Amino acid sequence: MDAVAEVRAFNRFYTEVIGVLGPGMHDSPYSLTEARVLYELGQAPGPLETGEIRRPLGIDAGYLSRVLTRLETDGMVTRERAGHDARRQVVSLTGAGRATYTDLDRKSAAQVAALIDGADLSRLLASMTAIREILGGAPRSDTVVIRAPRPGDLGWVVQRHAAIYVREQGWGAEFEALVARICADFLDHRDDPGQAGWIAEVDGRPAGCVLCVRGNDEGTAQLRLLLVEPWARGRGVGARLVEECLRFAADAGYTRIRLWTRDVLTSARRIYQAAGFEVTGTEQADGFVDEIWERDISGFTDRN
């Protein structure tokens, strides 16, 4: 896939969808840049210095000056020297300018409402957020919500394990089948008070998961299927999920907890080590080492 060509194709599609290539925004005489200047002024609690308009728009001072001259000629804005520094200009909307801004804002909202009517909003908004985060245009959220699985979540667990690990480790159908069996067994025993699962969300998007199930003996729990989405790593999601698992296991009466992982999963191993787990067994596999990690949880508290 030619990534540059794909991005350019998306840009052409989106600019056509929102109609920014026409002679004026929303049947107005103003271009996209001129409408954006009106928007910045309309959203501000008071007059703005020219630098405060220019920076978010990414345009140079000369271009902004020409835009402001046009808007001033049309009676949309006024310019005057800043009281604290005569070298600076402050810009304000006139009454006509505010009315034009209000009309453009209303038409823009109506256009978007019509565009998304009937769309899969959760998928659309999540995709938009992902694009903004990846390209650096959205503030990163570190608010993590941990909740119990809902119908359909375990299907997501299987799909994301398969998709992420085939890309990152090359593990294929055999690994996907293993994850599916673990999830199926979890669902078959969904009423067992000795097991539980959690989904982590960031901004309403599934960001990770973990299960706690019964181990091979009565006093031992097993942590399974810890996963954190690549875009959510570095936000403490994995640590929060492991902590939730440890707390549940202790409250359920287990005295010890174990997990199975592989030495190539370095990020997960750091989380387990920080949570007090230690390697208690290893077995050489094809290209990696299988590891058993364990820790005592009798008397566990959140600070252990």
3-state secondary structure of 150: coil
Q: Are 249 and 257 in contact (CB under 8 A)?
A: yes
Question: Distance from CA of residue 179 to its chain's centroid?
Answer: 24
How far, in Å, CA of 225 to CA of 232, rounded?
16
CATH architecture of 144-296: 3-Layer(aba) Sandwich (3.40)
- Sign (positive/negative) of CA torsion 261, 295, 186, 242? negative
* Domain parsing of the chain, residue ranges: 3-117, 144-296
Residue among 116, 137, 113 nearest 125 (CA): 116
Going residue by residue through the chain (304 aa), what tens digit of pLDDT does each one get?
588 888 888 888 887 777 666 666 677 888 888 999 999 999 988 899 898 998 888 888 899 999 999 999 999 999 998 777 767 889 999 999 999 999 999 988 888 888 888 888 878 877 887 788 778 766 666 688 999 999 999 999 999 999 999 999 999 999 999 999 999 999 999 999 999 999 999 878 899 999 999 998 989 999 999 999 998 888 899 999 999 999 999 999 999 999 999 999 999 999 999 999 999 999 988 788 999 999 999 877 664 4
Beta carbons within 8 Å of 218's beta carbon, 6+ residues apart: none
Decide which of 1.10.150.120, 1.10.10.10, 3.40.630.30, 3.40.47.10 is the CATH code for 3-117. 1.10.10.10
Question: 129: which 2 tokens?
Answer: 């957020």
Q: Is the pTM of the predicted complex or chain greater than 0.75? A: no
